[in-house]
Structure 1
Amino acid sequence: MLMEPTAPAATRTDLCRITVRGKDGSEQSFDVGRNDMLLKAAVAQGIDYPHNCRVGVCGQCKTRLVGGRVSPMVDLALSPLTNEQIQAGFVLACQAKVRSDLVIDVKLGSGTQLPVRYVSAQVTRYRKLPGEVIDLRLALDEPVAFNAGQYCTIAESGSFTRRSYSYYDAPPADGSGAREVGFLVKRLPGGRFSEWLFAEDRSGVKFWVEGPFGVMGVDDLDRDGLCVAGGTGLAPILSIVGDRLRRSKTAKFTIVFGVRTAADVFANERLQALLAEGGDRVRLVTILSHEPAGSAWTGPRGMVTAALDEALGVDYAQTAAFICGNLGMVEAVERRLIGLGVQADRIHADKFVPSGTP
């Protein structure tokens, strides 16, 4: 197995004590290396720390710094933190380099933290779909457990080019680890990984898989869900809806799926299978943003936010929302849903940011 370089064992002077204060006055402590990133070091120890993107975009890992010192690795003015949160001492754990012992305020323990695994795999399906998307399936040499809506990092064996993608599979119903996992990979012009992947059939190629990462709405099991997906943001939506159809006997789901044109609609096979499984518990609204005028398309047109109104028939005050797609789309949908009455703590978002984006 290809192993990552092992750092020398840290001495006590190289370590910083992280103390987490709970709302009830309880405390939990763990040690990380001085100059380590707070989130990465915590997750590596199995600490159930809230997070998703790990690149300073989603804001899931926001943490209030009560005492101690960190060095932010991004300009906080460009982060998802509000001015009020910054003034109150909040930082992003994924972008906070630990400089001293810390006292922090963050809600740990969603009960969903799974061990991060690093396993070898092989491509068992390489299938080009409409919209310049590839359905990529990997057979894992060892089973890996993950939660619905999570993601992992994949790379060709021997390559240092790694990219993160969400699983589109629902986790195995029996709770065992998955032996095979699938991803939807969009071709990005100039993208090192996606251009390589699209160049030729990669069936049989060896990969390495590291994960799972992220938390994508682990609560609200029996609450009806509104799922909004832009492009390959459909992948975690397929995982979440497929999982909840099995785990809840009552939850219903409305999926709003946005792509540019009718020719770009992909994953029909998986969508139809999900609709067949869910029956009257799942409905699909496909909306096209750049469909030529006068075409045969009779469905809704516009950005995905155009489909989010009272006519959609969703009880916005009671629904749980799951939003997946590019950063701008997700933020626009969040604003729209809050305006429609969705409670902010029931909005679960996965914001895709292309590698290399500042």
Structure 2
Amino acid sequence: MTQPHDTQGGFQITVNPSGRAFQSQGNETILAAAIRSGVGLPYGCKDGACGSCKCKKVSGSVTHADHQSKALSAEEESAGWVLTCCAQPTSDVVLESRQVTDESAYPIKKMPVRVSSLQKKSHDVMVVRLQLPAADTFRYHAGQYIEFILRDGARRAYSMANAPHTQGDAPGVELHIRHLPGGKFTDHVFGAMKEKEILRVEGPFGSFFLREDSDKPIILLASGTGFAPIKALLEHMQFKGIQRPTTLYWGGRRPEDLYMHDWLLEQAAQMPHLRYVPVVSDALPQDAWAGRTGYVHQAVLDDFADLSGYQVYACGAPIVVESARTSYSEQRGLPAEEFFADAFTSEADKHGG
């Protein structure tokens, strides 16, 4: 199919230090062109809210669509930083991004899925299992996400909570969905959704997955349903026999927010290299909570004086992810390129509401 000629299009994007290059088409963003071309640039929300795709522009010019200043400030933009999810090239562009990986680029597919089970894990968390088409192979990395395509074209992104190998004979994915009252999609999940319902999804997306070419010890950091992709990482590590020393910190407001606490205790018993540290920020007397309290990202600071030899994988609320990113690198020496994150942005986050 030929692309309509467009004065905005056809620019070459080069990514250093890998030297990977790809072409933009029409009015697409740099990130959309990279995903279409199978180049694994880092990204999260694809909507200008999380900042995961921010990288340095070495040369060339871009125009940015609307985005949040917390994702890219005016000062950062004038200093040559770009948000690839919102940036359209207006010339050939050279970027600097360390996380380009070929093997991350599994084909992105649209497909129908059937709700196979709904299990309420706490007052506001539902574990939803989706049956995938049996005739099709859906490949993804543990840690990646899919998007529901709603009838009006709106999208909702959720990380897969099961590792790819668990699909086996019954292709399917597990999602952990938190109820946001008034949210069009989650009100449906917690209200009218029934088993056997058919939905449409597209994926896999995201650059959050285990870097298996490293032997560094790992810190996994999750808040709330940010545990979903972390669970997939753990299952994958167990399946592949990856025995790097791993400490998992999972934070919730109340103990019930750690909705798979018992499952994690079982995993820790089976994985001698795994240490599990649950953290509760707002425990009440009736919770009888005897474990760690406070903010989950702070618990890591309390336990580690030096993170210079570690990799950190953080997932959950944007405030938790950004607090961790900043404090671990500035106060504990974590190399910026060893911090991998997936910030869960809700529709309210995306639109500043």
Shared topology, TM-score over 0.5?
yes
Kindly report which structure 2 residues correspond to 1:1-358, keeping only aligned pairs within 5 A, or say none. 9-11=3-5, 13=7, 15-20=9-14, 22-23=16-17, 28-33=21-26, 35-74=27-66, 77-80=69-72, 83=75, 85-98=76-89, 100-107=90-97, 109-111=100-102, 112-141=104-133, 142-155=136-149, 158=151, 160-172=153-165, 179-219=171-211, 221-268=214-261, 270-278=263-271, 280-293=272-285, 295-310=287-302, 312=303, 316-338=307-329, 339-357=331-349, 358=352
- The amino acid across from 2:138 in the alignment is V
- Name the % identity: 26
**Structure 1 residues 285, 67: CA separation in 2 closer, same or farther (over 3 Å shift)?**
closer
Residue 307 of structure 1 deviates from its aligned partner by 1.7
TM-score by length of 1: 0.85
Alpha-carbon distance between aligned partners in 1 of 2:263 and 2:137, rounded to the nearest angstrom:
23
| Aligned residues of 1:152 and 1:212 also touching (Cα < 8 A) | yes
TM-score (norm 2): 0.86
Counterpart AA for 1:101: S
Which consecutive residues of structure 1, in runs of 5 or more, have no partner in the other structure? Answer: 1-6
Counting matched residue pairs gives 344
Change (3 A) 1:64 1:291: closer
SS at match of 2:137: strand
Task: Please report how far the alpha carbon of residue 154 of structure 1 lies from its aligned counterpart in structure 2 after TM superposition.
Answer: 1.6
Is this contact kept in 2: 1:308–1:336, CA < 8 A?
Answer: no
Tell me if structure 2 keeps the 8 A contact 1:241–1:253. no
After the TM superposition, which segments of 4 or more aligned residues of structure 1 sit over 4 Å from their partners?
Answer: none
Q: For residues 33-84 of structure 1, what are the alpha-carbon distances to aligned partners after superposition, in whole Å with 9 as ceiling and x for unaligned?
A: 1x2222113312323333232122443433444554422113574324683x
Q: Which runs of 5+ in 2 are unaligned?
A: none
1:320–1:199 distance in 2 versus 1, CA, 3 Å: same
